């Protein structure tokens, strides 16, 4: 084997080892966690009501009401949170844009000093900062990333966040209600389907963590099952207390 071939093989192995997963989670993390939130909260709500020995109709209405209330609440909260964050970032970007316009030399020196702190030689850092500062929009983008930790061209959308949260929560919250809508008359099919959904969501979450799929699935199943069991017990106690 030649030296060139060996180098190529090492380069290929290096590239394979440097294929990283999306550590921010992208769309997967909020979607899966939204679905799990809907699953756990609505399952716990329905089992708590069922523990009070109420009618099947009451359980179904409770589940549908929990789905609607939770999904709208999630959407409103996510929209407000992301919109507020975006408005804050845009306000800071406006300040930075104004500073670049009024004090370009100071901003260029600031960027050069930042590169110096990261190990770049002062003369080279000054030249890099000068070249990057020639384009105002590019300069704004670089300052935003370095000082604010954001990308001006990739700000989150409040509407997309709200719609995603609504859909994910509603999908998760639907699972415990679905068996009743399909004709089930007892609680156990709803609990079984919800627990299977929790295990599935936990397994999917393993894609953005270092855990195995079965560990993440079992962990979520145990947590969700415990929440359902506790609320069922509380519902039973409340039912006895109120009935007595």
Q: Please give the Cα distance from 49 to 234 (Å, whole number).
A: 9
pLDDT in tens, the chain (244 residues): 444 445 555 555 555 555 555 444 456 667 777 888 999 999 999 999 998 888 999 999 999 999 999 999 999 999 999 999 999 999 999 999 999 999 999 999 999 999 999 999 999 999 999 999 999 889 899 989 988 888 888 888 899 889 999 999 999 999 999 999 999 999 999 999 999 999 998 888 787 677 899 999 999 899 989 988 999 998 888 775 665 5
Nearest to 49 by CA among 70, 69, 64: 64
Q: What is the pTM of this model?
A: 0.77
Run of H or E residues at 177 = helix 158-181
The dihedral of CA 116, 118, 119, 125: what is its sign? Answer: negative
């Amino acid at each position: 084997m030649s030296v060139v071939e060996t180098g190529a093989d090492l380069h290929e192995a290096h590239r394979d080892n440097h294929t990283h997963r999306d550590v921010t989670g992208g769309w997967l993390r909020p979607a899966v966690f939204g679905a799990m939130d809907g699953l756990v909260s609505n399952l716990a709500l329905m089992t708590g009501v069922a523990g009070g020995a109420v009618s099947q109709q009451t359980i179904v209405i409770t589940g549908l009401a929990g789905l609607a209330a939770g999904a709208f609440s999630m959407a409103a909260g996510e929209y407000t949170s992301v919109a507020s964050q975006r408005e804050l970032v845009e306000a800071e970007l406006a300040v930075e844009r104004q500073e670049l316009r009024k004090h370009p030399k100071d901003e260029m020196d600031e960027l050069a000093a930042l590169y110096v702190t990261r190990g770049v030689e002062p003369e080279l850092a000054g030249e890099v900062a000068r070249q990057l500062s020639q384009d105002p929009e590019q300069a704004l983008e670089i300052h935003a990333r370095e000082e604010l930790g954001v990308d001006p061209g990739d700000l989150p959308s409040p509407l997309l966040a709200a719609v995603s949260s609504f859909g994910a929560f509603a999908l998760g919250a639907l699972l415990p209600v679905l068996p009743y809508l399909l004709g089930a008359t007892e609680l156990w099919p709803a609990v079984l389907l919800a627990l299977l959904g929790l295990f599935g969501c936990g397994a999917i979450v393993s894609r953005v963590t270092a855990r195995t799929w079965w560990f993440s699935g079992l962990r979520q199943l145990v947590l969700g099952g415990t929440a359902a069991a506790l609320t069922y017990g509380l519902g039973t106690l409340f039912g006895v207390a109120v009935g007595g």
